[in-house]
Amino acid sequence: MSTLETSPFTGAELAEIPLPRAPLALVVAQIRFPVIASIASAEFIAPFQEALRAEYPIMRQEQQMALAFGPQGPIQQEHGILWRLQEADAGWSVVLAPDFMAIETAHYTSRADFMARWDKAMNAVQALANPAVFERLGIRYVNRLTGDDATVNLPRLVRSEILGPLAIELPEASTADSSATQIHFKLNDLQMQVRWGRVPGGLLMAPGVQPVDESSFLLDLDVYMEGITPFDTTRITEISRTSADHAYRFFRWAVEDEFITRFGGQL
């Protein structure tokens, strides 16, 4: 039985349970702001690098890519430069572009660690470029199950509302290879988009998450705020933590207690 039996949006404050083997394919926080052209200059962003270089010693210049749609279908096109600061083992990255800053990892350990890194990067952006406003702020968690956890074990790991049509009894030697569900919620000033489903090997379902060769099950939680808002780091921190809390509550509602213990959590 799931710890949250009714709604992922109501109830008392929910303490985080660490999952030492959390099946997180990606965790990312991103803030978008009006274009600051100077960020394209290596000389201009040098103080940003210095502020974060102890934690992220490797910096690379990359090209942003965007999809353009033409007669031949979608085509990737270059869309300006960005700067990627990475840990030596590439476990964590901070990405800075003229119109956004993001922090991303597949080595997530705790919300406290993630938010401390996010706050430090946010303060570095403010010190460097002092944006007047931001346009979008989002926190995203992508969970991915593979192997038997994505197939035969799945009914014990996620609640029936998430299992959905994958619970249909099939004839012998038959399989349900793919499914997809997407729901959009409005939560006062915040919005949440949740996607989940079974993904065949080699298929991309979640943007930014590389496909794997085997069948997998994804639970993709994206909580965000849109609209022109003053760039105030205290307020950004507050919104970020509230967004992460919404994502975590939905996650805990969606999974059964066996999911928590399966990945090392203590109930």
The answer to whether residue 1 is domain-embedded is: no
Q: Kindly state whether residue 12 falls inside one of the protein's structural domains.
A: no
Number of domains within the chain = 1
Q: Which two tokens stand for residue 137?
A: 């702020």
- The tokens of 76 are what? 């990737």
Residue 224, in any domain of the structure: yes
Query: Which residues make Cβ contacts (< 8 Å) with residue 263, sequence separation at least 6?
Result: 19, 20, 21, 22, 23
Mean pLDDT in order along the chain per 10 residues (267 residues): 70 87 95 96 94 96 63 52 91 95 94 96 96 97 94 93 81 74 94 93 78 91 97 96 96 96 94
For position 126, what pLDDT does the model report? 96
pLDDT in tens, 99-140: 999 999 999 999 999 999 999 999 999 999 999 999 999 999
In a domain, 16, yes or no: no
Burial of 12 (0-12, 13-18, 19+ CB in 10 A): exposed
Residue 125 burial (CB count, 10 A)? 25
Decide if 3 is inside a domain. no
Q: Per the domain annotation, does 267 fall within a domain?
A: no
Question: What pLDDT, on a 0 to 100 scale, did the predictor assign at position 206?
Answer: 73
17 falls within a domain: no
**Which pLDDT score is estimated for 90?**
75
pLDDT for the residue 79: 63
In-domain check, residue 63: yes
Of the candidates 140, 123, 128, which has an alpha carbon nearest to the alpha carbon of residue 240? 140
Structure tokens at 134: 């931001």
**For 133-162, b where at least 16 C-beta lie within 10 A, e where not — what string?**
ebbebbbbbbbbbbeebbbebbeebbbeeb
DSSP 68: E
Residue 255: beta bridge partners?
A: 158
Q: Which two tokens stand for residue 56?
A: 């992220």
What is the pLDDT, as a whole number, of residue 76? 45
Backbone angles phi, psi at 259, to 5 degrees: -60, -45
Residue 119 CA to residue 112 CA, distance in Å, equals 11
**Domain containing 151: what range?**
24-262
Q: Label residues 207-224 b or e (16+ Cβ within 10 Å = b).
A: eebeeeeebbbbbbbbbb
The owner of tokens 């249909």 is 168
Tokens of 104: 């991303």
How many Å apart are CA 156 and CA 133, to the nearest integer?
45
* pTM of structure: 0.90
